[in-house]
Amino acid sequence: MTPATHQPSAAGQVHARVEIDLGERSYPILIGSSLLDDPATWSGLPKAASALIVTNETVGPLYAARLQQALRPHYPQVHVLSLPDGEAYKTWDSLNLIFDALLSRGCDRKTVLFALGGGVVGDMTGFAAACYMRGVPFVQVPTTLLAQVDSSVGGKTAINHPLGKNMIGAFYQPVRVVCDLDTLQTLPERELSAGLAEVIKYGPIHDLAFLDWIEANLPALRAREPKALAYAVQRSCEIKAEVVGQDEREAGLRAILNFGHTFGHAIEAGLGYGEWLHGEGVGCGMVMAARLSQRLGLLAEDKVERLVRLVDAAGLPVRGPQLKAGHGEDCADLPNAQRYLQLMRVDKKAEAGEIKFVLVEDAGRAVVRGAPDALVAEVIDACCA
Ligand SMILES: NC(=O)c1ccc[n+]([C@@H]2O[C@H](COP(=O)([O-])OP(=O)(O)OC[C@H]3O[C@@H](n4cnc5c(N)ncnc54)[C@H](O)[C@@H]3O)[C@@H](O)[C@H]2O)c1
Ligand SMILES: O=C(O)C(=O)C[C@@H](O)[C@H](O)[C@H](O)COP(=O)(O)O
Ligand SMILES: [Zn+2]
């Protein structure tokens, strides 16, 4: 029954539905407008006595009450938890705030978690869902471009460690992803650009026709034209679904989604989380990885310059920063390139201390392989301000 307080809301319009095919862990990604407020969006989810919306102090005031209202016909209790905002809070302390909320509100092993926010909220809520009572269902409700095109899909959940990004986490799939494109209209411009980095990423690793489309439609994307955003989210999710469907736990292929991340994660950790946005690290990291690909004879110079122009036009940095020194004796007075190398050795793709890079080839394919430290250091020096 509709509660007395329920206001009539616009009917949601699903523009595209992308399936992620993982056997019994399969789920749909719904992409559309006015989805958040429409109770019909939330039909067919696991039944429970309670739901918990996890959001943050920025997104909560914008959207939490609307989601809570739309969920009320489905769950007798709909709780809301607001976390502090920012990459610096992707920590154990924030994770514990989620567990505190779940336990203090009597949530049981059927409680459904809703991650309402960007990738930080999504990664932490997913990790909390994987752990609470050894696993409760969760739904991704991404509200940044980055989260709609990437982080809400595929089940990587994590928190950061001061020594490395996303170092503590789990693979744990959501039961549904709902991308309401309308939420992107309130996103700060810097965050929109950060999301474009992950959109651009899909071109060189998998789909050069999509890269052409992004180039042609970049002004429309930056102007937030709904049709352009809808296609960017849809095509990105299709590519990610295809890759994750073949390699859920990154035994091999999935690592291509890490293009730009080996350098990018070093920048994020090396400057202190939140100084550069994740998407900014990825944008600049793709430039570095492309230059390394060129030095290894995999990518032609004009293709590198094309990528640099696109990353720049998306409003992202194309020159790397000087990183801060780490703590401890082995960190003092390290030259910048050595500090990058030190941080990259912690990367999850590294094997027996050998850093693995996602490199790109002219044909629009990615390869994952090592490279000599001296060459990597030369590329870093050439790329850094
Ligand atoms: N799990 C994965 O596969 C995956 C993939 C890519 C990135 N990530 C992770 O995602 C994180 C980055 O995500 P992000 O770029 O979404 O950052 P974020 O979660 O920090 O969100 C960016 C900012 O935008 C605000 N915001 C969110 N939605 C808004 C809206 N609609 N209107 C106004 N403000 C809004 C947030 O409060 C925040 O200040 C990183 O931690 C990264 O490691 C994970
Ligand atoms: O889904 C993946 O796989 C990715 O690599 C997507 C990346 O954009 C994302 O930043 C991811 O969290 C990085 O994974 P990590 O394993 O390097 O932490
Ligand atoms: Zn990423």
Q: What is the pLDDT of residue 329?
A: 63
Look up residue 163 and give its amino acid: L
pLDDT confidence bin for 4, thresholds 50/70/90: very low
How would residue 108 be classed by pLDDT, with cut points 50, 70 and 90? very high
Q: What is the pLDDT of residue 330?
A: 65
pLDDT of residue 385: 80
Nearest-atom index, ligand 2, CA of 240: 1
Strand bridging mode 156-161 / 357-360: unpaired
Region 140-148 average pLDDT:
99
pLDDT of residue 56: 98
CATH 3.30.470.10 is held by the domain 13-185: no
Complete DSSP assignment for 322-339: PPPP-SSGGGTT--HHHH
User: Confidence class of residue 15 from pLDDT cuts 50, 70 and 90?
Assistant: very high
On the question of pLDDT at 105 being above 60, the answer is yes
- Is 115 in contact with 127 (CB distance < 8 Å)? no
Domain positions in the chain: 13-185, 189-384
| 362 three-state secondary structure | coil
Average pLDDT, the chain: 96
pLDDT of residue 9: 59
pLDDT digits (tens, 9 = 90+) for 38-88: 999 999 999 999 999 999 999 999 999 999 999 999 999 999 999 999 999
313 is in an annotated binding site: no
Pocket residues for ligand 1 (CB within 6 Å)?
56, 58-59, 62, 85, 87, 90, 117-121, 123, 143-144, 146-147, 150-151, 154, 156, 165-166, 183, 186-187, 191, 194, 278-279
The torsion angle over the Cα atoms of residues 121, 188, 152 and 288, rounded to 10 degrees, is -110
Which fold would CATH assign to domain 189-384?
A: Dehydroquinate synthase-like, alpha domain (1.20.1090)
pLDDT of 5 > 50? The answer is no
Note the ipTM here.
0.99
Note the pLDDT tens digit of each residue in 221-239.
Answer: 999 999 999 999 999 999 9
Asked whether residue 7 carries a pLDDT value surpassing 70, the answer given is no
Which residue has 């989604």 as its token pair?
257
**Catalytic residue list contains 161:** no
pLDDT at 284: 98
pLDDT number for residue 211: 98
Confidence at residue 1, expressed as pLDDT on a 0 to 100 scale: 34
Q: For residue 173, give the ligand nearest its CA.
A: 1
Task: Examine the pLDDT at 307 and tell me if it is beyond 80.
Answer: yes
Q: Flag whether pLDDT at 216 surpasses 70.
A: yes
Quick check: 2 pLDDT over 60?
no
Report pLDDT for 331.
65
Query: What's the whole-model pTM score?
Result: 0.97
- Host H or E run for residue 167: strand 164-171
3-state helix, strand, coil in the chain (%, to 5): 50, 20, 30
Q: How far is 75 from 251, CA to CA, in rounded Å?
A: 38
Q: Report whether pLDDT(114) > 80.
A: yes
- The predicted-structure confidence for 154-197, as pLDDT tens digits, reads as follows 999 999 999 999 999 999 999 999 999 999 999 999 999 999 99
What ligand 2 atom has the least distance to the C-alpha of 123?
12
State how far the Cα of 335 lies from the Cα of 315, in Å rounded to an integer: 28
Quick one: tokens of 101?
């909320």
Which band of pLDDT confidence, cut at 50, 70 and 90, is reported for residue 3? very low
- Annotated catalytic residue 240: yes
